[in-house]
């Protein structure tokens, strides 16, 4: 690595934190402690050129922190190698403890240059925005793409990716690198063995689950430790029943949004799975990996998940499993949106901190990640689509990703993108997730679950300390 005052400062801060010389703030402290915008050690921009549109200094170190989850970090290491071919060295860290390790540094004004803000311990992006701690990525989106200077980065992206980085206004503060298809994941082999088709209506779902039960197989499992996974199918199910406006009302924290008939119908349908004994015993206590293992071992037919699951569970997936994903099963023919409707959107968020020492380098690294070499490499390594259009064209895809691509193509314009998970992380993961978890564990019935969801949403709406967002 290059030796510089900037590097020495970072090294000193890290060592001091490790030695306990800095006090790590509590989880909520970020919302009340702005960094103050201390950029005294920031790397100066060089003159911009066609090949270096952000004016990256050729010798400045870049620090990248990657969430070590279902996608691992090799794809980032490979992109960093490309970066180092033209610019300075890269200090790379992988961790599952994003908030725990980085929130103190955000408060101290010494963040990394690029953060993959993902996982159960991700930082609250809304709190970061409230304190002006995230760099506006508009210049990245308007820059020439890596492979075709005549096309901007913005114009290479999949539908909804730019909007997912907006928080009620025009600036874009994060981009989601993966393009995830959420839905009911299943094994084609398992359904074939039961001699059943994928259920398109809820009556068909009950029939399939009953036949599985008679064979000693659960209809569903889920990670009860992280109950918001159920939202990956429940939110689009609600949208299909009542229309996209129902989800927009929920996102906008509108009064009585959770009391809509579509919400009630969806909750009652899911509760039927509990009442009929179609949920795998012990699911409320399972982690995401444990529930996936149970599913891989054929103990349950369906699991709510996203398309990262193929890579995340690869080691325990039987060769003949034939992983696939389908749209959330429709309620019936009265649904407002067609069966093919799915939740598909960008996931795996990245951002550049406003106080990053090497903002230009962070932007250039993200531009490299969005190039053809990096996006194709990501798909081949981790079995996931990226946010770049056509990046997987011509590649031989594994079964799950092939299914996800087909499901996405079949959906066409019938895409739903709930914003609750990133606009109101705590509300989505804890309060809403907790109410759904209690219902799916059989502890409460749908009426009580709906009441809890609405009460939590109202409390968030009335809390002036929480930044509110609206659909543009």
Across the range 103-113, mean pLDDT stands at 96
Q: Is residue 91 located within the same domain as residue 190? A: no
**By C-alpha distance, which of 188, 154, 403 is closest to 298?**
188
Given a cut of 80, is residue 24 above it in pLDDT? no
Task: Identify whether 390 is part of a domain.
Answer: no
Report residue 169's pLDDT band, with 50, 70 and 90 as the boundaries.
confident
Task: Identify whether 58 is part of a domain.
Answer: yes
Q: Is residue 197 located within the same domain as residue 49? A: no
Across the range 209-216, mean pLDDT stands at 98
Q: Is residue 217 located within the same domain as residue 95? A: no
Model confidence over 440-453: pLDDT tens digits? Answer: 999 999 999 999 99
Cα dihedral 191/396/178/428 (nearest 10): 0
**By C-alpha distance, which of 332, 302, 330, 272 is closest to 196?**
302
Q: Is residue 269 located within the same domain as residue 418? A: yes
Task: Identify whether 271 is part of a domain.
Answer: yes
Given a cut of 90, is residue 28 above it in pLDDT? no
**By C-alpha distance, which of 432, 6, 51 is closest to 226?**
432
Return d(Cα 330, Cα 324) in angstroms, integer: 17
**Exposed e or buried b per residue across 308-342, where buried means at least 16 C-beta atoms within 10 angstroms of its C-beta:** bbbbbbeeebeeebbbbbbbbbbbeeebebebbbb
Task: Identify whether 166 is part of a domain.
Answer: no
pLDDT for res 110: 95
Given a cut of 60, is residue 5 above it in pLDDT? no
Model confidence over 124-138: pLDDT tens digits? Answer: 988 899 899 999 999
Task: Give the range among 185-194, 262-271, 299-308, 382-391 with minimum mean pLDDT.
Answer: 382-391
Q: Is residue 234 located within the same domain as residue 304? A: yes
Across the range 232-236, mean pLDDT stands at 96
Given a cut of 50, is residue 317 above it in pLDDT? yes
Return d(Cα 388, Cα 385) in angstroms, integer: 8
SS percent in the chain: helix, strand, coil, step 5:
45, 15, 40
pLDDT for res 30: 37
Across the range 211-231, mean pLDDT stands at 95
Model confidence over 57-84: pLDDT tens digits? Answer: 998 899 999 999 888 999 999 999 999 9
Q: Is residue 121 located within the same domain as residue 262? A: no
State the CATH number of the domain containing residue 338: 3.40.190.10
pLDDT for res 120: 85
Assess contact for 397 and 325: CB atoms under 8 A: no
Task: Identify whether 32 is part of a domain.
Answer: yes
- State residue 302 phi and psi, 5-degree precision: -120, 150
Assess contact for 148 and 50: CB atoms under 8 A: no
Q: Is residue 199 located within the same domain as residue 283? A: yes
For residue 427, the enclosing domain spans 180-345+403-462
Task: Identify whether 244 is part of a domain.
Answer: yes
Task: Identify whether 391 is part of a domain.
Answer: no
Task: Identify whether 362 is part of a domain.
Answer: yes
Model confidence over 358-413: pLDDT tens digits? Answer: 999 999 999 999 999 999 999 999 888 999 999 998 999 999 999 999 999 999 99
pLDDT for res 35: 37
Across the range 148-176, mean pLDDT stands at 90
- Residue 185's H or E segment, with its range, is strand 175-187
Q: Is residue 27 located within the same domain as residue 142? A: yes
Query: Token pair for residue 413?
Result: 């314009």
DSSP letters of 286-346?
--HHHHHHHHHTTSEEEEEE-TTHHHHTGGGS-TT--EEEEPPPB--TT-SS-TT-EEEEE
Q: Is residue 136 located within the same domain as residue 246? A: no
Length of the chain counted residue by residue:
472
Return d(Cα 146, Cα 365) in angstroms, integer: 11
Given a cut of 80, is residue 290 above it in pLDDT? yes
pLDDT for res 60: 85
Across the range 328-337, mean pLDDT stands at 97
- State residue 229 phi and psi, 5-degree precision: -60, -30
Residues 6+ apart with CB under 8 A from 296: 313, 316, 317, 318, 321
pLDDT for res 168: 74
Q: Is residue 372 located within the same domain as residue 327? A: no
Report residue 31's pLDDT band, with 50, 70 and 90 as the boundaries.
very low
On average, the pLDDT of the chain sits at: 90
Report residue 43's pLDDT band, with 50, 70 and 90 as the boundaries.
confident
pLDDT for res 160: 85
State the CATH number of the domain containing residue 118: 3.40.190
Domain count for the chain:
2
Across the range 29-45, mean pLDDT stands at 49
Q: Which residue pairs, CB below 8 angstroms and at least 24 apart, start in 53-56?
A: 53/143, 53/144, 53/364, 53/367, 54/139, 54/140, 54/143, 54/359, 54/360, 54/361, 54/363, 54/364, 54/367, 55/360, 56/86, 56/87, 56/358, 56/360, 56/361, 56/364
Q: Is residue 419 located within the same domain as residue 363? A: no
Assess contact for 368 and 83: CB atoms under 8 A: yes
pLDDT for res 26: 37
Across the range 246-272, mean pLDDT stands at 98
Across the range 204-208, mean pLDDT stands at 98
Cα Rg for the chain, rounded, in angstroms?
A: 23
Q: Is residue 341 located within the same domain as residue 375? A: no
């Amino acid at each position: 690595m290059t030796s510089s005052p900037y590097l020495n400062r970072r090294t000193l801060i890290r060592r001091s934190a490790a030695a306990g010389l800095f006090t790590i703030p509590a989880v909520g402290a970020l919302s009340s402690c702005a960094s103050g915008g201390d950029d005294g050690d920031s790397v100066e921009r060089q003159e911009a050129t066609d090949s270096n549109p952000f004016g990256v200094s050729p010798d400045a170190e870049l620090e990248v922190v990657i969430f070590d989850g279902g996608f691992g970090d090799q794809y980032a290491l490979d992109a960093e190698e490309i970066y180092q071919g033209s610019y300075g060295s890269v200090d790379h860290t992988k961790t599952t403890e994003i908030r725990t390790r980085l929130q103190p540094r955000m408060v101290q004004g010494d963040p990394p240059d690029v953060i993959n803000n993902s996982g159960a311990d991700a930082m609250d992006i809304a709190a970061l925005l409230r304190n002006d701690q995230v760099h506006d990525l508009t210049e990245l989106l308007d820059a020439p793409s890596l492979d075709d200077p005549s096309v901007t980065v913005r114009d290479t992206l999949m539908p909804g990716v730019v909007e997912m980085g907006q928080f009620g206004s025009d600036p874009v503060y994060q981009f989601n690198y993966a393009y995830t298809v959420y839905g009911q994941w299943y094994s084609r082999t398992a359904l074939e063995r039961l001699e059943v088709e994928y259920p398109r209506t809820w009556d068909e779902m009950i029939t399939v689950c009953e036949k599985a039960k008679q064979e000693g197989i659960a209809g569903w499992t889920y990670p009860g430790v992280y109950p918001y996974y159920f939202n990956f199918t429940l939110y689009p199910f609600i949208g299909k029943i009542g229309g996209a406006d129902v989800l927009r009302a929920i996102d906008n924290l509108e009064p009585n949004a959770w009391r809509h008939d579509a919400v009630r119908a969806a909750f009652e349908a899911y509760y039927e799975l509990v009442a009929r004994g179609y949920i795998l015993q012990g699911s409320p206590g399972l982690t995401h990996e444990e529930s996936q293992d149970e599913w891989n071992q054929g103990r349950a037919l369906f699991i709510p998940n996203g398309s990262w699951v193929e890579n995340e569970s690869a080691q325990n997936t039987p060769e003949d499993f034939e992983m696939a994903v389908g749209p959330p099963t429709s309620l019936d023919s009265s649904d407002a949106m067609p069966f093919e409707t799915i939740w598909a959107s960008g996931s795996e968020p990245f951002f550049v901190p406003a106080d990053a020492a090497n903002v230009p380098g962070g932007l250039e690294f993200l531009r490299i990640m969005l190039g053809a070499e990096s996006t194709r490499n990501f798909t081949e390594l981790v079995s996931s689509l990226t946010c770049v259009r056509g990046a997987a064209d011509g590649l031989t895809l594994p079964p799950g990703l092939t299914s996800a691509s087909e499901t996405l193509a079949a959906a066409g314009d019938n895409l739903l993108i709930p914003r609750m998970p990133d606009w109101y992380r705590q509300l989505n993961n804890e309060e809403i997730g907790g109410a759904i978890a209690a219902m799916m564990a059989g502890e409460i019935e749908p009426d009580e679950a709906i009441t809890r969801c609405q009460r939590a949403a109202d409390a968030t709406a009335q809390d002036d300390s929480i930044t509110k967002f609206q659909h543009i």
